[in-house]
Amino acid sequence: MKISLSKPGHGRPQRRTLMAFTMIEVMVAVTVILLAFVTVFGCMTLGISVTQLTRENLRATQIMVDKLEGLRLYSWDQLTNSTFLTPNFTNWFYETNNIGLVTAQGNGVQYTGTVQVVQVGFTNAYSPNMRQVNITVGWQSYSPGSVNHTRTMSTFVSQAGMQNYIFNN
Protein backbone atom coordinates (compact mmCIF):
# COMPACT_ATOMS: atom_id res chain seq x y z
CA MET A 1 0.00 0.00 0.00
CA LYS A 2 1.49 3.31 -1.05
CA ILE A 3 0.46 6.73 0.15
CA SER A 4 1.75 9.88 -1.49
CA LEU A 5 2.17 13.10 0.44
CA SER A 6 3.38 16.47 -0.63
CA LYS A 7 5.23 18.86 1.67
CA PRO A 8 3.41 22.14 2.20
CA GLY A 9 5.20 25.44 1.68
CA HIS A 10 7.19 24.53 -1.38
CA GLY A 11 6.43 25.68 -4.83
CA ARG A 12 6.62 22.32 -6.31
CA PRO A 13 5.00 19.36 -4.53
CA GLN A 14 7.35 16.53 -3.56
CA ARG A 15 6.12 13.01 -3.41
CA ARG A 16 7.03 10.84 -0.50
CA THR A 17 5.98 7.22 -0.47
CA LEU A 18 5.09 5.44 2.81
CA MET A 19 5.22 1.66 2.86
CA ALA A 20 3.09 -0.49 5.18
CA PHE A 21 2.87 -4.21 5.82
CA THR A 22 -0.10 -6.16 4.62
CA MET A 23 -2.17 -8.20 7.05
CA ILE A 24 -0.79 -11.47 5.66
CA GLU A 25 2.79 -10.34 6.27
CA VAL A 26 1.96 -9.36 9.83
CA MET A 27 0.27 -12.71 10.49
CA VAL A 28 3.27 -14.64 9.09
CA ALA A 29 5.66 -12.61 11.28
CA VAL A 30 3.51 -13.18 14.38
CA THR A 31 3.37 -16.92 13.63
CA VAL A 32 7.16 -17.13 13.27
CA ILE A 33 7.69 -15.25 16.55
CA LEU A 34 5.10 -17.42 18.31
CA LEU A 35 6.81 -20.61 17.09
CA ALA A 36 10.16 -19.30 18.31
CA PHE A 37 8.76 -18.59 21.80
CA VAL A 38 7.01 -21.97 21.99
CA THR A 39 10.25 -23.71 21.02
CA VAL A 40 12.32 -21.79 23.59
CA PHE A 41 9.86 -22.41 26.42
CA GLY A 42 9.43 -26.06 25.42
CA CYS A 43 13.19 -26.56 25.55
CA MET A 44 13.37 -24.85 28.94
CA THR A 45 10.61 -27.07 30.32
CA LEU A 46 12.28 -30.21 28.97
CA GLY A 47 15.61 -29.13 30.43
CA ILE A 48 14.09 -28.58 33.87
CA SER A 49 12.38 -32.00 33.74
CA VAL A 50 15.58 -33.78 32.71
CA THR A 51 17.49 -31.99 35.48
CA GLN A 52 14.91 -33.06 38.08
CA LEU A 53 14.99 -36.68 36.90
CA THR A 54 18.79 -36.65 37.01
CA ARG A 55 18.70 -35.34 40.58
CA GLU A 56 16.26 -38.08 41.58
CA ASN A 57 18.51 -40.73 39.98
CA LEU A 58 21.54 -39.32 41.78
CA ARG A 59 19.71 -39.35 45.12
CA ALA A 60 18.70 -43.00 44.56
CA THR A 61 22.34 -43.85 43.87
CA GLN A 62 23.42 -42.02 47.03
CA ILE A 63 20.90 -43.99 49.11
CA MET A 64 22.08 -47.32 47.67
CA VAL A 65 25.77 -46.50 48.18
CA ASP A 66 25.03 -45.39 51.75
CA LYS A 67 23.35 -48.72 52.49
CA LEU A 68 26.15 -50.74 50.87
CA GLU A 69 28.87 -48.84 52.71
CA GLY A 70 27.06 -49.46 55.99
CA LEU A 71 26.81 -53.18 55.25
CA ARG A 72 30.57 -53.37 54.73
CA LEU A 73 31.00 -52.68 58.44
CA TYR A 74 28.67 -55.47 59.61
CA SER A 75 30.24 -58.59 61.03
CA TRP A 76 29.63 -61.86 59.18
CA ASP A 77 27.18 -62.97 61.88
CA GLN A 78 25.22 -59.72 61.60
CA LEU A 79 25.18 -59.90 57.81
CA THR A 80 23.92 -63.49 57.69
CA ASN A 81 21.40 -63.01 60.52
CA SER A 82 18.05 -62.29 58.87
CA THR A 83 16.57 -60.84 62.08
CA PHE A 84 19.40 -58.31 62.54
CA LEU A 85 19.28 -56.73 59.09
CA THR A 86 16.16 -54.68 58.29
CA PRO A 87 15.04 -55.75 54.80
CA ASN A 88 12.89 -52.65 54.03
CA PHE A 89 13.68 -48.97 54.39
CA THR A 90 12.30 -45.55 53.46
CA ASN A 91 14.25 -42.43 52.63
CA TRP A 92 13.46 -39.01 51.14
CA PHE A 93 14.95 -36.63 48.64
CA TYR A 94 15.56 -34.07 51.40
CA GLU A 95 16.46 -35.69 54.70
CA THR A 96 15.81 -34.01 58.02
CA ASN A 97 18.20 -33.80 60.95
CA ASN A 98 15.91 -35.92 63.15
CA ILE A 99 18.03 -39.01 62.63
CA GLY A 100 17.42 -40.51 66.08
CA LEU A 101 13.63 -40.22 65.93
CA VAL A 102 11.54 -43.15 64.80
CA THR A 103 8.96 -40.84 63.21
CA ALA A 104 11.53 -38.70 61.36
CA GLN A 105 10.45 -37.87 57.84
CA GLY A 106 12.00 -35.87 55.08
CA ASN A 107 10.65 -33.78 52.27
CA GLY A 108 10.35 -34.30 48.56
CA VAL A 109 10.26 -37.57 46.69
CA GLN A 110 9.92 -40.66 48.91
CA TYR A 111 12.26 -43.55 48.17
CA THR A 112 11.39 -47.06 49.32
CA GLY A 113 13.96 -49.78 49.22
CA THR A 114 14.81 -53.37 50.02
CA VAL A 115 18.00 -55.07 51.14
CA GLN A 116 18.50 -58.73 50.24
CA VAL A 117 21.40 -60.90 51.35
CA VAL A 118 21.40 -64.13 49.33
CA GLN A 119 23.73 -67.00 48.53
CA VAL A 120 25.98 -66.34 45.57
CA GLY A 121 24.80 -67.67 42.24
CA PHE A 122 27.93 -69.65 41.43
CA THR A 123 29.52 -72.76 42.96
CA ASN A 124 33.16 -73.11 43.86
CA ALA A 125 35.33 -73.70 46.92
CA TYR A 126 34.70 -70.30 48.54
CA SER A 127 31.02 -69.73 47.59
CA PRO A 128 29.73 -70.92 51.02
CA ASN A 129 31.78 -68.06 52.54
CA MET A 130 30.28 -65.38 50.28
CA ARG A 131 26.97 -63.56 50.06
CA GLN A 132 25.49 -61.36 47.40
CA VAL A 133 23.87 -58.16 48.66
CA ASN A 134 21.17 -56.59 46.45
CA ILE A 135 19.80 -53.14 47.20
CA THR A 136 16.74 -51.99 45.26
CA VAL A 137 15.34 -48.47 45.49
CA GLY A 138 12.06 -47.33 43.96
CA TRP A 139 10.37 -43.95 43.76
CA GLN A 140 7.62 -42.13 41.94
CA SER A 141 8.69 -39.11 39.92
CA TYR A 142 6.32 -36.17 39.64
CA SER A 143 7.75 -34.47 36.58
CA PRO A 144 6.78 -34.99 33.84
CA GLY A 145 3.74 -36.91 34.93
CA SER A 146 3.69 -39.67 37.50
CA VAL A 147 6.31 -42.28 36.57
CA ASN A 148 7.63 -45.16 38.71
CA HIS A 149 11.40 -45.67 38.73
CA THR A 150 13.55 -48.50 40.11
CA ARG A 151 17.30 -48.80 40.51
CA THR A 152 19.30 -51.80 41.79
CA MET A 153 22.87 -52.15 43.01
CA SER A 154 24.63 -55.40 43.94
CA THR A 155 27.89 -56.39 45.57
CA PHE A 156 29.57 -59.46 47.04
CA VAL A 157 30.64 -59.78 50.67
CA SER A 158 33.17 -62.33 51.83
CA GLN A 159 33.42 -63.90 55.28
CA ALA A 160 37.11 -62.98 55.27
CA GLY A 161 36.41 -59.41 54.17
CA MET A 162 36.89 -55.94 55.59
CA GLN A 163 34.67 -56.51 58.62
CA ASN A 164 37.29 -58.90 60.04
CA TYR A 165 39.90 -56.19 59.91
CA ILE A 166 37.61 -53.74 61.70
CA PHE A 167 36.33 -56.11 64.38
CA ASN A 168 39.61 -57.98 65.03
CA ASN A 169 41.97 -54.98 65.20
- Statement: residue 158 has pLDDT above 60: yes
Per-residue pLDDT tens digits for 56-69 = 999 999 999 999 98
Which pLDDT score, from 0 to 100, does residue 1 have? Answer: 52
Which pLDDT score, from 0 to 100, does residue 37 have? Answer: 95
pLDDT above 90 coverage of the chain, percent: 35
Domain assignments of the chain as residue spans, ordered by start? 21-98+106-168
Q: Cβ(110)–Cβ(122) under 8 Å? A: no
Q: How far is CA 123 from CA 37, 95, 131, in A?
A: 62, 41, 12
Query: What is the DSSP code string of 27-85?
Result: HHHHHHHHHHHHHHHHHHHHHHHHHHHHHHHHHHHHHHHHHHHHHTTS-HHHHH-TTTS
